[in-house]
Amino acid sequence: MSGSLELQGLRRTFGSLIALDNLSFEVPAGQVVGFLGPNGAGKTTAMRAIFGLTELDSGSVRWNGAQVGQAQRRRFGYMPEERGLYPGMLVGEQIEYLGRLHGLSAAEAATATDTWLERLDIADRRNSKVETLSHGNQQRVQLMAALVHKPEVLVLDEPLSGLDPTGIDAIGKVLIDQARSGCCVLFSSHQLDQVEDLCEQVTIIDHGRLVVSGTVDELATSGGRRLQVRIEGDRTGEWARHLTGVTVSEVDGGAVRLVLESSVDSDDVLRAAMRGGRVTQFSFERRRLSEVFREALK
Amino acid sequence: MKYAYTALVAVAVVARLLWFLRRRKRRAGKDLVPDSANGGAVGSPAAGSVTGSRRRTSHVIEDALGEVGMVAGREIRERIRGRIFRIGTLVLLVAVAAAIVIPTLHHSSGGPTKQTVGVVGRLSPQLEQVVRAAGTASQDVVKVVPERSLAAAKTDLRSGKVDLAIVGGNRVLLNLPASASSSPADPSLVQTVASYLGVLKAYRAGGLTPRQAGLVDNAKSAPVNTLQPSPKSTTTGTSVFGLVLLFFMLTQYNTWILIGVMQEKSSRVVEVLLATVRPLQLLGGKVLGIGLVALGQAALVVGFALILAKAVGSNLLHGTGPLVLACQLLWLVLGYAFYCWVYAAAGSTAERQDQVQTLALPLSVPILVGYVFALTVSSSGHPDLIFKIFAYLPPTAPFCMPVLVGLSQVTWWEFGASVLISIAGTVGMAVFAARIYRRAVLQTGARVSIRQLLARAAP
């Protein structure tokens, strides 16, 4: 699989509320793209727009350069924010049914269902009703519903919410494997550490507008040098707050993270730190995704 | 013979009920396997074979109709598997069986009874013939016994050896008045015997020979002809039974649609489905699937009713000729086709059970109006102008038009016109409902008002 999913100039308003404001970005095939933003930023609306579930005032969604229609969407997989399954239907039959709606034959749907049940370790629940499953297993079934037809594009709205670390690892591995096999993977999450671990690329939006977009490496190395400094007995980082061209980004358990402007000499910072006490750590660090997020939304 | 048929049907219904309860128990046991227990509820070949034939049927529809067929196939499987459907069908069959069998049993209990008639005096062949004829007319098995004297007859009456006595060929003697509940004498037999004895006495007084008396007895009424053909009587032209079934089924099937659409919305599964199928395909599949299950259930109930009625000799369905029956089935389909879109659109605006109940009442008003109006006219046999107009309106035609057909008050072209109007109304309603459904089914939170939807639907 190759190609890309492009969102071009999406605009959607609900009365006076602007949910999407000329939003454009791209999800390349073979990559996991993290879709971030504060609550109400427009992530879910943008994802629903990909599937035609919300009407756009303007803009378009394109797959491999062509406008996305019903035929293309059958090759996409979707996991909505509010989970949706038939509670009283058997797990296996439900997945087969959704697979068939996505164009699989009955035999293909049955085989794919068995494969995914085994892979997500819930083969023993094939003949159970969805409503009898635990939250984590329902989440797995919902993911299977998006994966059963081997989609070319996978759009997942908060797939990791409410999962324990084992569940997060299992679903995270599936997302990476899908991308490695050439699928476009776009997923939203508020768990920034997981996003950093899983994604090659990140897109951050706010008030329906694109704020930042780039690879995790690009974002980690952009936005000024980062220093992490520890001084014995210092828990506030007050010593650094008066330094010119230096911003205290984060203070976490005595570790003070500083952002240095290009004109600042790090030796001057070290001397200032030594005046504050005994320096136990002085190291250059990568920019964390949480810092990218916070700084982008300032 | 009719008792044998009744017993057979009762055994079949009870066996079905037991099978259902056993199966439910087995399934409940399987569902109780805790989620954490691995290896508990792995699909068995037996479980697969249970659903096998059902799935084959639905796969034919799926292959023929694509996505719409797949949605319809799922609806059929889930409906037939559902507890509500099975219990509902059983209850319906039991109710139909009761409606057909109970009146015949009641009729039977007032039927042939053994009556012993004591005769004081000479038992002439004429008198014996009179007693036997009275017994046949009153559906009694009559045994005639001679009494030596009036006193002996009184003793036998008191002891209950005889139920009534004929004294001297010209009067009837009873222990208690025939109207008393404790009287062993059949009042009908007493009345008939008394009447025949009176006639016999009159024949003798008139000097008729036995042959002449026989000719008078066997006299037939003269034929009565009319210049205009008389309208069919209401009891032979229409069937209240059919109207009740039509009302019940139309209400039930459309409520399935209402609840089904609401549940898909409330469980949010509709968002997953609409990511791959169009709203009209999803709605069309649901309507088709439930419609086929409904038609199957209706055919089962009607077929069951016809066979049972014939078996037990019920006259409940005698009023329903094949034409009226076919007409009612056709209007069940047309009525369902019209109302299913209305209920589907309404269901898409709700996502809670209480909201459904609020919606169901106003939606059922036109059905109720048509039903009550049709019942009234079918019993009076005199449709007025308003009723005839109602027979052409899609919401009320399913009830009113079959009544007009039963009363022979409609021509074929008028019937055809009503069908065409109903089909046109259904198409219009489907377009309108699909529009409402598309907009409402993805809106969550408070119930979406029709006014809001229409405002949004405006260009």
Question: Which residues are CB-neighbours of B41 under 8 A, at least 6 positions away?
Answer: A124, A125, A126, A127, A128, B30, B31, B33
ipTM: 0.84
Do residues B63 and B69 touch, judged by C-beta distance below 8 A?
yes
Q: How far apart are CA B51 and CA B44, in angstroms?
A: 12
Reduced to 3 states, what is the DSSP secondary structure of residue A281?
strand
Instruction: Dump pLDDT digits (tens) for B308-318.
Output: 877 876 656 55
Range B232-258 average pLDDT:
74
Q: Are residues A280 and A240 in the same domain?
A: yes
Dig out the tokens for A86 from the structure.
Answer: 């038939």
Do residues B447 and B440 touch, judged by C-beta distance below 8 A?
no
Q: How far apart are CA A193 and CA A179, in angstroms?
A: 19
Q: Are residues B290 and B423 in the same domain?
A: yes
- The reply to whether residue A88 touches residue B78, judged by beta carbons under 8 angstroms, is yes
Query: pLDDT-based confidence at B237, cuts 50/70/90?
Result: very low
pLDDT value of residue A7:
93
> Within a domain: residue B37?
no
Q: Are residues B340 and B196 in the same domain?
A: no
The one-letter amino acid code at B135 reads: G
Query: pLDDT-based confidence at B51, cuts 50/70/90?
Result: very low
Q: How far apart are CA B279 and CA B291, in angstroms?
A: 18
Q: Please tell me the total count of domains within chain A.
A: 2
Would an 8 Å CB–CB cutoff place B259 in contact with chain A? no
Q: Are residues A201 and A238 in the same domain?
A: no
pLDDT at B105 over 80: no
Q: Are residues A65 and A89 in the same domain?
A: yes
pTM over 0.90: no
Q: How far apart are CA A98 and CA A89, in angstroms?
A: 12
Q: How far apart are CA B92 and CA B246, in angstroms?
A: 12
- The reply to whether residue B59 touches residue A137, judged by beta carbons under 8 angstroms, is no
Which one is predicted more confidently, B51 or B371?
A: B371
Q: Are residues B178 and B270 in the same domain?
A: no
Dig out the tokens for B241 from the structure.
Answer: 């039974």
CATH code where residue A245 lies: 3.30.70
Please report where in the chains the tokens 């939606």 appear, as a residue. B363
Do residues A20 and A7 touch, judged by C-beta distance below 8 A?
no
Q: Are residues A251 and A229 in the same domain?
A: yes
Q: What's the DSSP call for residue B167?
A: E
Q: How far apart are CA B451 and CA B458, in angstroms?
A: 11
> Within a domain: residue B169?
yes
Q: How far apart are CA A27 and CA A182, in angstroms?
A: 12
Q: How far apart are CA B428 and CA B458, in angstroms?
A: 17
Q: Please tell me the total count of domains within chain B.
A: 2
Dig out the tokens for B123 from the structure.
Answer: 């038992």
Instruction: Dump pLDDT digits (tens) for A211-248.
Output: 889 888 888 887 778 889 999 988 888 888 888 889 88
Nearest to A168 by CA among A154, A149, A189: A189
Q: Are residues B132 and B269 in the same domain?
A: no
Q: Are residues A204 and A59 in the same domain?
A: yes
Q: Are residues B183 and B284 in the same domain?
A: no
Instruction: Dump pLDDT digits (tens) for B414-424.
Output: 999 999 999 99
Reduced to 3 states, what is the DSSP secondary structure of residue A69?
coil
- The reply to whether residue B275 touches residue A128, judged by beta carbons under 8 angstroms, is no
Would an 8 Å CB–CB cutoff place B447 in contact with chain A? no
pLDDT value of residue B29:
45
pLDDT at B390 over 90: yes
E strand segments, B15-139: 114-120
Give the H or E element holding residue A41. none
**Alpha-helical regions (H) of B32-82:** 45-81
| Neighbour order of strands in the sheet with A246-252 | A246-252, A255-260, A225-231, A279-285
Q: Are residues A170 and A72 in the same domain?
A: yes
Strand B141-147 versus strand B114-120 pairing type: parallel
**Within chain A, which residues score under 70 in pLDDT?**
1-2
Reduced to 3 states, what is the DSSP secondary structure of residue A26?
strand
- The reply to whether residue B35 touches residue A134, judged by beta carbons under 8 angstroms, is yes
Q: What residues of B are in contact with residue A76 (Cβ under 8 Å)?
A: 275-276
Q: Are residues A227 and A203 in the same domain?
A: no
Phi, psi of A227 (to 5 degrees): -120, 140
Reduced to 3 states, what is the DSSP secondary structure of residue A28?
strand
Q: Are residues B203 and B289 in the same domain?
A: no
- The reply to whether residue A53 touches residue B270, judged by beta carbons under 8 angstroms, is no
Q: Are residues B437 and B345 in the same domain?
A: yes
- Domain boundary residue among A182, A215, A248? A215
- The reply to whether residue B269 touches residue A92, judged by beta carbons under 8 angstroms, is no
> Within a domain: residue B65?
no
The domain in which residue B439 lies consists of 234-457
Query: pLDDT-based confidence at B394, cuts 50/70/90?
Result: very high
Q: Are residues B417 and B287 in the same domain?
A: yes
Q: Are residues B394 and B261 in the same domain?
A: yes
Give the H or E element holding residue B247. helix B240-266
Instruction: Kindly calculate the radius of gyration of chain B based on its CA atoms and give it in whole angstroms.
Output: 32
Number of neighbouring beta carbons within 10 Å of residue B393: 16
pLDDT value of residue B233:
47
Dig out the tokens for B167 from the structure.
Answer: 């004294």
Q: How far apart are CA B267 and CA B330, in angstroms?
A: 35
As a dihedral over the C-alpha atoms of residue B22, residue B26, residue B32, residue B38, rounded to 10 degrees, the angle is: 180
pLDDT at B98 over 90: no
- Domain boundary residue among B209, B244, B268? B209
Q: Are residues A61 and A87 in the same domain?
A: yes
Q: Are residues B390 and B449 in the same domain?
A: yes
Q: How far apart are CA A108 and CA B130, in angstroms?
A: 83
Q: How far apart are CA B212 and CA B209, in angstroms?
A: 5
Q: Are residues A208 and A240 in the same domain?
A: no
Number of neighbouring beta carbons within 10 Å of residue B435: 17
pLDDT at B37 over 50: no
Do residues A218 and A257 touch, judged by C-beta distance below 8 A?
no
The partner residues of A27 in beta bridges, in order of sequence, read A5
> Within a domain: residue B258?
yes
> Within a domain: residue B6?
no
pLDDT at B447 over 90: no
The one-letter amino acid code at B202 reads: A
Question: Which residues are CB-neighbours of B308 under 8 A, at least 6 positions away?
Answer: B5, B9, B96, B97, B100, B101, B314
The domain in which residue A258 lies consists of 223-296
Sign of CA dihedral B184, B189, B194, B197: negative
Residues 32-51 of B with CB under 8 A from A: 33, 35-43, 47
Nearest to B362 by CA among B450, B276, B439, B245: B450
Nearest CA in chain B to A127: B43
- Domain boundary residue among A215, A250, A278? A215
**Under an 8 Å CB criterion, which residues of A touch B?**
48, 51-54, 70, 73-74, 76, 78, 80, 82-89, 92-93, 97-98, 100-102, 106, 123-129, 132-134, 137, 145
Question: Which residues are CB-neighbours of B139 under 8 A, at least 6 positions away?
Answer: B111, B112, B188
Would an 8 Å CB–CB cutoff place B362 in contact with chain A? no
Dig out the tokens for B438 from the structure.
Answer: 């598309």
pLDDT value of residue B354:
79
Q: What residues of A are in contact with residue B274 (Cβ under 8 Å)?
A: 51-53
Query: pLDDT-based confidence at B146, cuts 50/70/90?
Result: confident
pLDDT value of residue B54:
52
- Domain boundary residue among A162, A191, A215? A215
Q: Are residues A152 and A229 in the same domain?
A: no
Strand A201-206 versus strand A209-215 pairing type: antiparallel
Q: How far apart are CA A47 and CA A35, in angstroms?
A: 10
Nearest to A84 by CA among B27, B276, B2: B276
Instruction: Kindly calculate the radius of gyration of chain A based on its CA atoms and give it in whole angstroms.
Output: 23
Q: Are residues A176 and A265 in the same domain?
A: no
Question: Which residues are CB-neighbours of B349 under 8 A, at least 6 positions away?
Answer: B355, B359, B436, B440, B447, B448, B449, B450, B453
Best A51, A86, A135 member to test B by mutation, with max B CBs in 10 Å, is: A86
Q: Are residues A164 and A286 in the same domain?
A: no
Query: pLDDT-based confidence at B453, cuts 50/70/90?
Result: low
Give the distance from CA B165 to its chain's centroid: 46
Do residues B327 and B403 touch, judged by C-beta distance below 8 A?
no
